[in-house]
């Protein structure tokens, strides 16, 4: 199966430095077929064997969703009430104290700020 110039497989390989666009991919870039052809190609890819739709209940690949404990949430909420944006040293401290990664702390704060924004907008 020939992949388009920007397929997931091609991008993954190109980020590792191992991929070159195929002749068909180069020619399609030089002479674009238009949005209809792109939609058809994407639809064919989605219906190909081995491609699971993420809405079907199968878990997304990668890291599973973190279930925060009540104690972790309490400490994260306390820290959020003090300061909505977390600094590097506080992020390291919380990560060590709560046995979470710094990226989990950062993501929790990002999500919590969005929740706070929605709550304040809904209240108006």
The CATH number covering residue 102 comes to 1.10.10.60
pLDDT value at position 16? 64
CA torsion sign, 86 to 88 to 92 to 97?
negative
Whether 63 maps to a domain, the answer reads no
Min mean pLDDT across 32-36, 48-52, 71-75 is at 48-52
Q: Retrieve residue 71's tokens.
A: 């104690």
- Residue 31 pLDDT greater than 80, yes or no: no
pLDDT band at 91 (very low <50, low <70, confident <90, very high): very high
Q: In this structure, is residue 118 part of a structural domain? A: yes
- Domain housing 113: 69-123
Split into its structural domains, the chain has a count of 1
User: Quick check: pTM over 0.75?
Assistant: no
pLDDT at residue 34 is higher than 50:
yes
In a domain, 7, yes or no: no
Return the pLDDT at 77.
97
Using alpha carbons, list the distances in angstroms from residue 19 to 3, 39, 75, 81, 101. Answer: 12, 23, 46, 48, 33
């Amino acid at each position: 199966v020939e992949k388009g110039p920007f397929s997931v497989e091609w991008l993954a390989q190109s980020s590792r430095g191992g991929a070159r666009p195929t002749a068909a991919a180069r020619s399609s870039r030089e002479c674009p077929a238009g949005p209809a052809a792109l939609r058809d190609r994407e639809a064919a890819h989605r219906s190909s064997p081995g491609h699971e739709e993420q809405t079907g209940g199968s878990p997304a690949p990668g890291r599973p969703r973190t279930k925060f404990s009540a104690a972790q949430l309490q400490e994260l909420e306390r820290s959020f009430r003090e300061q909505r944006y977390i600094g590097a040293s506080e992020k390291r401290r919380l990560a060590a104290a709560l046995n979470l990664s710094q990226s989990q702390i950062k993501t929790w704060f990002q999500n919590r700020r969005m929740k706070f924004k929605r709550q304040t907008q809904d209240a108006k």
